[in-house]
Amino acid sequence: MILSEKYMIGNTTRFLMFVMLSVLSVMTACKDTWKERGMVSGEAMTLSVMDKINANANLSTFSGYLIKTGYAEIINTSKNYTVWAPTNSALQNLDASIVTDTAKLKVFVGNHIANLTYATTVPADTTQRILMLNGKYVPFTKNTFDEANISLANQYAKNGILHVIDGAVPVKQSIWEYVSSATIGLDQKTYLMSLNKTAQDTSLATITGYDPVTGKPILKPGTGLVTTNRFLSAVKNVSNEQNQYTFFLLADASFGAEKAKLTKYYNSTSISPDSTTTNLTSWNVVKDLAVSGAYSPNQLPAQLLSVNNVNIPINKSAIIASYKASNGWVYVMSSMNFSVAEKIPAITVEGEVVSSFSSSGISGSVFYPIRSDNKGISYKTLEVYRSGVSALNVTYRLRNIPSATYKVYWRAIAGTTGDPQTVTFNQKLVFNSSNIATDLGYKPVSVASTDATANAIAYSDLYIGDCVVTKYGNVTMSLVSAASTAVNVNTLLLDYVKLVPVIQ
């Protein structure tokens, strides 16, 4: 057993040193190990953003504005802020109306301050859109803040970052604000504004009590009013600052021209041309005038696809004016030649989307089989088999059908795998709209074939006849079975009906 191990001697020496050191440290009083760790030093850790601004003589004007608007206190609080402070010279030429009006000044100053910290440590080609305290988003890159250049970047403070910029960044209007105050394209603007509706939001309104019967809250009238706009909700919410859009404003002539192309498809039941027709026509024009994404004039393609799947043809030479809004681009167009065929598209009525049957008690005979067509694509169909009802009506209600002449096609194929109906039979389509009834007469349905060519024909749309809709509105379409009660004769079979408008 070896006991003269080196470490013991080493430890003992260390022990003696330790004793001496301990005595020393007792004498020199206990040093607080935490003091050093918790101590923050350096301007970046001790000064607030406001202190940093005040420390820079070149930012005195902006500092004054901060104090005047109350932002000075806010950016001294314990939250992170990024401030893009314009130099004194950049603020020299600031519109006096902003400087004198505290409310406007507050919006202006708020356009230079953001919550959280944003440094210029991002790659050069990255653009961040940053939410400012005034609710606007401002693009920020490694070297620029909106149009201003960053002259002194990344001045860290205890509660954020200061960037010094060489120009003031005026508050931009959003697309919707721009449109609302537009001076050209007034017809379109007027129409869009007419879509405004004011309603009471139950979550914002003051509740004065609860209805003892229903238990529903009783709202104080005039409180919690919110304005909604159909365009913003149904097309694109171009008032939203968070996302970016491109919006087209048509000059009055162009707006009128586009409406003229469409007005005949909106023949109303009342005296022509009435307000209904005008409104419908106008809606059909504007519904394709906004898209997501900010397309600058350079990036603007020849055409864009609207939310309604309509191509927006853009003729750059037709741009009268353009405006870079806080949330995208607005182009004022002298013309915009929409394709009427796209605006008034074909209507497909799926056979299985039935509104009603003329006879009750046939539910055991109604099927909605899913089958595969000749290309292997599965489709759902309606089949009424062995109903025992003569001339059974299956009704489809078609809503908001533009006034036009339609070529009517159907696809109905008997004799597919598993189908009890193996032979052809007759059925017919009857249309009723605005007192005009169109009976397209009994037509045989196609039968699936083992021959590929024949089968392709069977599966193609089968032209049935024409149907004229004279007035815009609802149309009732009925699929009628043969006037027989015999099995395999009074069958109904429908994949879909297609109504293709004849564009003139």
Contacts with other proteins by CB under 8 A lie at: 1, 3, 5, 7-8, 11-12, 14-15, 18, 22, 25-26, 30, 33-34, 37-38, 40, 44-45, 74, 77-80, 114-117, 119, 121, 130-131, 154, 156, 158-159, 161, 242
Nearer to other proteins, 146 or 187 (CB): 146
124 Cα distance to chain centroid: 29
DSSP 3-state of 36: helix
Nearer to other proteins, 1 or 96 (CB): 1
Nearer to other proteins, 44 or 99 (CB): 44
Shortest separation between residue 131's beta carbon and other proteins, angstroms:
5
Q: What gap in Å lies between CA 167 and CA 176, rounded to an integer?
A: 26
In order of 42, 52, 273, 406, the CA distances from 154 in angstroms are 15, 11, 63, 66
Q: In terms of residues, how long is the chain? A: 504
In order of 350, 466, 480, 501, the CA distances from 469 in angstroms are 19, 10, 20, 10
Shortest separation between residue 42's beta carbon and other proteins, angstroms:
9
Shortest separation between residue 327's beta carbon and other proteins, angstroms:
14
E strand intervals along 293-384: 303-305, 311-313, 319-325, 328-333, 347-350, 356-357, 366-367, 370-372, 378-380, 382-384
Shortest separation between residue 56's beta carbon and other proteins, angstroms:
18
Nearer to other proteins, 3 or 452 (CB): 3
In order of 181, 190, 341, the CA distances from 254 in angstroms are 19, 15, 18
Shortest separation between residue 122's beta carbon and other proteins, angstroms:
10
Shortest separation between residue 468's beta carbon and other proteins, angstroms:
54
Shortest separation between residue 7's beta carbon and other proteins, angstroms:
6
Residue 483 CB contacts under 8 Å (≥ 6 apart), including other chains: 390, 391, 490
Q: What gap in Å lies between CA 464 and CA 474, rounded to an integer?
A: 21
Nearer to other proteins, 98 or 157 (CB): 157
Shortest separation between residue 28's beta carbon and other proteins, angstroms:
10
CB 155, CB 52: distance < 8 Å: yes
Nearer to other proteins, 131 or 366 (CB): 131
Nearer to other proteins, 5 or 211 (CB): 5
| C-alpha radius of gyration, the chain, whole number | 37
Q: What gap in Å lies between CA 140 and CA 124, rounded to an integer?
A: 10
Nearer to other proteins, 7 or 198 (CB): 7
Shortest separation between residue 25's beta carbon and other proteins, angstroms:
6
Nearer to other proteins, 55 or 74 (CB): 74
Nearer to other proteins, 131 or 219 (CB): 131
Q: List the Cα angle 40/43/48 in 5-degree steps.
A: 95
For tokens 């020199």, what's the residue? 28
Q: What gap in Å lies between CA 346 and CA 499, rounded to an integer?
A: 6
Shortest separation between residue 123's beta carbon and other proteins, angstroms:
10
Nearer to other proteins, 158 or 259 (CB): 158
152 Cα distance to chain centroid: 37
Q: What gap in Å lies between CA 295 and CA 324, rounded to an integer?
A: 10
CB 464, CB 429: distance < 8 Å: yes
Shortest separation between residue 395's beta carbon and other proteins, angstroms:
50
Beta bridge partners of 427: 443, 481
Shortest separation between residue 246's beta carbon and other proteins, angstroms:
23
Q: In sequence order, what DSSP letters do the residues of 121-180 get, joined into one string?
A: -S-TT--EEEEBTTS-EEEE-SSEETTEEEEEEEEEETTEEEEEESS--PPPPPHHHHHH
Structure tokens at 257: 């021209």
Shortest separation between residue 78's beta carbon and other proteins, angstroms:
4
Nearer to other proteins, 132 or 384 (CB): 132
Nearer to other proteins, 8 or 486 (CB): 8
Residue 228 CB contacts under 8 Å (≥ 6 apart), including other chains: 196, 197, 198, 199
